[in-house]
Chain A
Amino acid sequence: MAEIVIKNVAKRFGSFTALHSIDLTIADQEFMVLLGASGCGKTTLLRIIAGLETPSQGEVWIGGRRVDHLPPRERGIAMVFQNYAVFPHLTVFENIAFGLRMKKLPQAEVDARVNRTAELMHIEQLLRRYSGQLSGGQRQRVAVARALAMEPDVILMDEPLSNLDALLRLEMRAELKGVLANSKTTTIYVTHDQVEAMSLADRISVMNGGKIVQAASPVEVYRNPAARFVGSFIGNPPMNFLPANRSAAGQWSVAGLDVPGPAAGDALEFAIRPEDLTVAAEGFAATARVVEPLGAHTLVTAEVGGQMFRAVLDSDLKVSPGDELRLSPKADRIRWFNRETGLAAG
């Protein structure tokens, strides 16, 4: 059992605040992804959990034990580093065995565990090589095997796939998901790649400016962003936003269209995902500017009320730049944000 509880953790570097009072609970065996742009504090948070960084305030609990004053080696964790950190002077075997040797496990146990994890990561034929003789993808596998061999309660991963090329990344992503699901560890995974986050996570913590903006399941984060930032960060293309002004009780005027919305508030923002728009008789008056047929669907970048507006439309639809369209939002997919705070409204 290794539930991770982060209480009121903050980190300041001089006058710069990297993390503002983070509270987060990660359930036992959960796969939590910390997602955000570079500089949002996600790696700092991971390193605080690992013990490689000391928090300026707050507490870190792993498996019911307060660990924020313990060195990394006493926290029951294993980690996969962004640049793999596969020791160049040791063979693949000794790299995977490194943590086990530190624990002074008997040789038979070391052999068994190294062979098992090497097999799991499909690197059993590389055990006698040095890291300099491996490709990036193989080094990545060694780094994961080294973490798994520890049979840790918690595995921390810091952008583990970011140094692989696109195809390999896709392959490793699927493989990691399978391997980690079977290992029954609690996993915290840092990435800036939203597709990686969506595909791997049980829950995603979206971070921005040293704060967790939303921590929820991938679908929830996608469908119901807790803040404008989440909607604009997740999804490719991201959410569309239009200013909304109250026209009557529960009625909002959005780019010349009357849309029913929240009863409260007077300055809101209307938001809709590009795929939740259809071409209909009624809807936003849009002028197509760029038309990108992508096979499965066609991405249309249009102008609505003087603003950029993207719609993912059926690829059978014939649209050309300059065409006038009516784009109708699906009523149940409309989201509202407070224009002042950026938080979800209604």
Chain B
Amino acid sequence: MPARFLPYLMLLPATIFLLVFFVYPFIQIAILAVTQDGGFSLQPITTMATHWKFNAALGWTVLLAAVVVPLQLVMALSMATIVTKLKTGRSTILYIFSIPLGLSDLAAGIVWLAIFEQSGFLNSMLAGLGVIEQPILFLGYQNIWVIFLAVVLAELWRATAIVMVILVSGMGLIPKEYYEAGEVFGANGWQRFWRITLPLLRPSLQSALILRTLAAFEVFAVVTALGGTTLPVLMGETFNWQFAMQDRNVASAYALVILGISIAATLFFLRALRVPKGATI
């Protein structure tokens, strides 16, 4: 057999795996979303879209992503810039920054619940300092914005490191000479960052943003741990329809919505951070 077929042959198992376990279920879900009582129907989609929680879930999910991802990007860029400039202790710092990556999102939600709940660390601390007389119910259903804030904090704490790790490796690929040329030709620190680092980091930014945005659209365990169903999100609704309401068709419709906005976001980042031909490092 010619050697040029060998790479394709070696990719075959992975391709079959993806076809069987991803593409096939995806088609199943797409069919489920437009099926009612064994026949074609748009009823599941109508049920989903007209349910009072749908707009809230979509809105909160998008808002969470819109707040969390840019904040993570800015934080990760700052952290990566600092880490890249370190001469010693660089890997130690990277390990410490990466600790939350080892936690599942549910565990992260529980950690932050332990801080915010009525008998949590925050209340104990405030009581200990004499600031409050009795514990405050931070995560109550009247305080939806506090729940939102707690979710944002937990997400930042949990998932900024992955963005940073991707950006650190991307920054490592930028040769030092470009910065020196920037310095010689008149660019100050900020200008070097905007005009050299950021444009040359586009491929890494692209990967990090796609990865993080997709994960943000799928946010679930952290929200459930901190707010139950008070703060509805798309993934939570999918879960509810599937298991609480026992309606697989509507759950599938939700899954399709998540897929749709994920594809839209991916296309957006592929477009916005495209590197022209011949303009790579």
List chain A positions with a Cβ less than 8 A from chain B: 50-52, 71-73, 77-79, 81-83, 85, 87-90, 98-99, 102-103, 129-133, 146, 150
Contacts and interface: CB of A to CB of B under 8 A. Distances in A.
Interface size class of B (residues with CB under 8 A): 20 to 34
Interface in B158-186: 175, 177-178, 180-186
Interface of B: 175, 177-178, 180-188, 191, 195-196, 199-200, 202, 275-281
B181 A87 contact: yes
Contacts of B185: 73, 78, 98-99, 102, 146, 150
Contacts of B200: 88-89
A85 B177 contact: yes
B177 A89 contact: no
Given A99-B185, A99-B186, 19 more contacts: A51-B183, A52-B180, A73-B183, A77-B184, A79-B184, A82-B177, A83-B175, A85-B180, A88-B281, A90-B199, A98-B185, A102-B187, A130-B279, A131-B278, A132-B277, A132-B278, A132-B280, A133-B277, A146-B185
15 contacts: A52-B180, A72-B180, A81-B180, A83-B177, A85-B177, A85-B180, A88-B279, A89-B202, A98-B181, A98-B187, A102-B186, A102-B191, A130-B276, A130-B279, A133-B277
The 8 closest A-B pairs by CB, nearest first: A102-B186, A132-B278, A99-B185, A130-B278, A85-B181, A133-B278, A85-B177, A89-B199
A83 B200 CA distance: 17
Contacts of A87: 178, 181, 196
Contacts of B178: 85, 87
A73 B186 contact: yes
Contacts of B182: 98
A79 B175 CA distance: 16
A99 B281 CA distance: 20
B186 A103 contact: yes
B187 A73 contact: yes
A17 to B, nearest CB: 20
Contacts of B177: 81-83, 85
A178 to B, nearest CB: 24
A78 B224 CA distance: 59
Nearest to A52: B180
Contact of B280 (A50, A71, A88, A98): A88
A71 B183 CA distance: 8
Contacts of B275: 89
Contacts of A129: 278
B85 to A, nearest CB: 15
Contacts of B278: 129-133
A71 B179 CA distance: 13
Given A87-B196, A88-B200, A89-B200, A79 B279 contact: no
A50 B184 CA distance: 7
Contacts of B188: 71, 73
A282 B280 CA distance: 67
Contacts of B183: 51-52, 71-73
B279 to A, nearest CB: 4
Contact of B184 (A73, A82, A88, A132): A73
A87 B177 CA distance: 10
B279 A89 contact: yes
Contacts of A133: 277-278
Contacts of A88: 200, 279-281
B223 to A, nearest CB: 39
Nearest to A50: B184
A73 B199 CA distance: 21
B201 to A, nearest CB: 10
A72 B280 contact: no
B279 A78 contact: no
Contacts of B281: 88
B101 to A, nearest CB: 30
Between A87, A89, A130, A132, the greatest number of chain B beta carbons within 10 A of the residue's beta carbon is seen for: A89
Contacts of A130: 276-279
Contacts of A78: 184-185
A142 B20 CA distance: 52
Nearest to A71: B183
Contacts of A85: 175, 177-178, 180-181
A99 B278 CA distance: 22
A82 B67 CA distance: 44
B60 to A, nearest CB: 37
B92 to A, nearest CB: 22
Nearest to A103: B186
A129 B200 CA distance: 17
A98 B194 CA distance: 13
A342 B138 CA distance: 83
Between B182, B183, B195, B279, the greatest number of chain A beta carbons within 10 A of the residue's beta carbon is seen for: B279
Nearest to A97: B185
Contacts of A77: 184
A73 B191 CA distance: 12
A77 B196 CA distance: 20
Contacts of A73: 183-188
B177 to A, nearest CB: 4
Contacts of B279: 88-90, 130-132
Contacts of B186: 73, 99, 102-103
A81 B276 contact: no
Nearest to B177: A85
Nearest to A143: B181
Contacts of A83: 175, 177
B191 A79 contact: no
A130 B183 CA distance: 21
